[in-house]
Amino acid sequence: MTSKDGYSWTEAQGLRAGVPSIGVIEPPTNVKSADTVYDVIVVGAGYCGLTAARDASLAGLKVLLLEARDRIGGRSWSSNIEGYPYEMGGTWVFWGQANVWREIARYGMQDELEISYDFSKGINKYLLSSPQGVQTFSHEEEDALMQSSLAKLVNVDGCLGRTVVPFPHSGVLTPEARKYDHMSVADRLAEIKNDLTPNERLCAEAFVLLCSGGTLETTSFYEFLHWWALSGYSYEGCIDYLVKYKFRGGQSSFAIRFFREALASGNLTYAFNSPVAKIQHGGEGVQITTRVGKTYKAAKMICAIPLNVLNDVAFDPPLAPGRKAAATTGHVNQCVKVHAEISDKDLRSFTGISYPHNGLLYGFGDGTTPAGNTHVVAFGGQHNHFHPEENLEHTKAALQGFVPMKIQRLVFHNWSKDEFAKGAWFFPAPGLLATHLKDMRARERNIVFACSDWALGWRSFIDGAIEEGTRAAITVRGDFAGRVKL
Ligand code: FAD
Q: What is the pLDDT of residues 405-455, one digit of tens each?
A: 999 999 999 999 999 999 999 999 999 999 999 999 999 999 999 999 999
Mean pLDDT to the nearest integer, 20-47:
98
Q: What pLDDT, on a 0 to 100 scale, did the predictor assign at position 486? A: 56
Among 3, 54, 76, say which to mutate for ligand 1: greatest number of ligand atoms within 8 Å of CB: 76
Whole-model pTM? 0.98
Closest ligand 1 atom number to CA of residue 460? 45
**How confident is residue 397, by pLDDT bands cut at 50, 70 and 90?**
very high
The whole-angstrom separation of Cα 218 and Cα 21 is 34
Measured at the alpha carbon of residue 261, what is the angle toward residues 310 and 39, in degrees to the nearest 5? 55
Mean pLDDT to the nearest integer, 463-470:
99
Look up residue 90 and give its DSSP letter.
Answer: -
Give me the amino acid identity at 120.
Answer: S
**How confident is residue 137, by pLDDT bands cut at 50, 70 and 90?**
very high
Mean pLDDT to the nearest integer, 150-179:
97
The whole-angstrom separation of Cα 413 and Cα 425 is 13
Q: What pLDDT, on a 0 to 100 scale, did the predictor assign at position 485? A: 62
The mean of the pLDDT values for the chain is: 97
CA of 193 to the centre of ligand 1 (A): 35
pLDDT in tens, 206-258: 999 999 999 999 999 999 999 999 999 999 999 999 999 999 999 999 999 99
ipTM: 1.00
Q: Which residue puts its alpha carbon closest to atom 7 of ligand 1?
A: 44
Q: Report the percentage of the chain scoring pLDDT > 70.
A: 100
**How confident is residue 483, by pLDDT bands cut at 50, 70 and 90?**
confident
Does residue 376 have a pLDDT over 70? Answer: yes
Q: What pLDDT, on a 0 to 100 scale, did the predictor assign at position 484? A: 72
CA of 425 to the centre of ligand 1 (A): 7
Q: Which residues pair with 367 in a beta bridge?
A: 375
Q: What pLDDT, on a 0 to 100 scale, did the predictor assign at position 283? A: 77
Mean pLDDT to the nearest integer, 121-129:
94
The whole-angstrom separation of Cα 68 and Cα 282 is 24
The whole-angstrom separation of Cα 365 and Cα 116 is 8
Cα→Cα distances 25→44, 171, 314, Å: 14, 35, 27
Distance of alpha carbon 373 from its chain centroid, rounded? Answer: 27
Q: DSSP letter string over 244-300?
A: TEEETT-HHHHHHHHHHHHHHTT-EEEESS--EEEEE-SSSSEEEEETT--EEEEEE
Does residue 284 have a pLDDT over 90? Answer: no
Mean pLDDT to the nearest integer, 294-303:
98
Measured at the alpha carbon of residue 337, what is the angle toward residues 168 and 188, in degrees to the nearest 5? 45
Counted residue by residue, the chain has a size of: 486
Ligand 1: list residues with CB < 6 Å.
43-49, 66-69, 74-76, 89-92, 275-276, 304-306, 309, 313, 335, 337, 415, 420-421, 424-425, 451-452, 460-463, 465
Asked whether 251 and 6 are in contact (CB, 8 A), the reply is no
Q: Which residue puts its alpha carbon closest to atom 39 of ligand 1?
A: 90
- Dihedral (CA of 223, 225, 229, 233) sign: positive
Look up residue 429 and give its DSSP letter.
Answer: P
Does residue 174 have a pLDDT over 80? Answer: yes
Does residue 482 have a pLDDT over 80? Answer: no
**How confident is residue 333, by pLDDT bands cut at 50, 70 and 90?**
very high
The whole-angstrom separation of Cα 68 and Cα 481 is 30
Q: What pLDDT, on a 0 to 100 scale, did the predictor assign at position 282? A: 81
Mean pLDDT to the nearest integer, 149-165:
98
